[in-house]
Amino acid sequence: MKAKIIVTPKKAVLDPQGKTVANALEQMGYKGIGDVHVGKYLEIELPAGDRESWRKQLDEACHKILSNPVIEDYQLEIEP
Amino acid sequence: MNFAVLQFPASNCDQDALHVVRNVLGHSGRLLWHKEHSLAGFDAVIIPGGFSYGDYLRTGAIARFSPIMQAVQAFAAQGGPVLGICNGFQILCEAGLLPGALIRNRSLQFRCEHVFLKTASREGPFTRQIPEGKLLRLPIAHGEGCYFADDATLEQLQAGRQILWQYVNAAGEPSDQANPNGSLQNIAGVCNLARNVAGLMPHPERASEPLLGCADGRLIFESLISWLQTKLAAAA
């Protein structure tokens, strides 16, 4: 099994990286794109086992360390 | 007074902080490796600047789970004074000992320069010796010093007079131009509600001797020492 975690800055948080990437895309001629948000992607290899138990544990880990709830949101997916 | 100066892998202002404690202020201090578990015998804790754990994941995110940080949590809960400088400030925010978070500078640039700070509150251990109205001139050196907190937290900080320092211009005004990193409300340093835990992005330990061009940082350490002396005298 594999866990896939996407961490993104909260909407209310200034994202200068996203803004800079958006500006660069605009300058390259990609007109009309909206806001860009730069985040992180984590893949965690898991041994076969109880998927729900892993979800519970990794949800906790996302809260505790893999993301900072003050500034970031996360999405957690567990693939078979 | 006896100071603990914490040392994580890739701390790099630990020796400077210890130098100020011992050689400039004439107090005792010791470096404490992150794997230690106890703060017994120490009067105050300094969490120095650097790039603990390579700033991996987020600044301060991994350091906060070090064994020594569990001791810092207990020390702070008992009212012990803890000062986080730069990466130390980031670690304290990640640990939940201070509100808010420090994110990438708005300019995306690493800023290394001198700034002026206004002391917004002179209550508590870290600012009491700073003369009313005096601007501190201190160096900064960071890429992730933009202070962020949601509106409710900012209101609480205001209500609790927890904003200790703000970036200002030479006239003492918290202008946009004087803000080196995009921090909300030009916040350079805050404390917790109990006032015994504080953090700031500028480096007082790099500006505590005239030889280094400026000794304003010394006022912050002297405030802490004066507060500790008052506390000891009251306990005696």
pLDDT tens-digit series, residues B200-214: 999 999 999 999 999
* Closest of B201, B192, B221, B200 to residue B24, by C-alpha: B221
A17 with B104: Cβ contact below 8 A:
yes
Domains and CATH numbers, chain B: 2-235 (3.40.50.880)
The Cα of A15 is separated from the nearest Cα of chain B by a number of Å equal to 8
Looking at B86, B93, B146, B191, which residue is catalytic?
Answer: B86
Q: Max alpha carbon distance in chain B (Å)? A: 51
Q: Which residue has the tokens 């600012």?
A: B127
The partner residues of B117 in beta bridges, in order of sequence, read: B136, B167
Give pairs for B111-115: CB < 8 Å, separation 24+: B111/B140, B111/B141, B111/B142, B111/B143, B111/B145, B111/B180, B111/B181, B112/B139, B112/B140, B112/B141, B113/B139, B113/B140, B113/B180, B114/B138, B114/B139, B114/B140, B114/B214, B115/B139, B115/B140, B115/B167, B115/B178, B115/B180, B115/B188, B115/B202
pTM, to two decimals: 0.94
**Inter-residue contact B132 to B114 (CB < 8 Å):** no
- Per residue in A16-55, pLDDT (tens digit) is 899 999 999 999 999 999 999 999 999 999 998 899 999 9
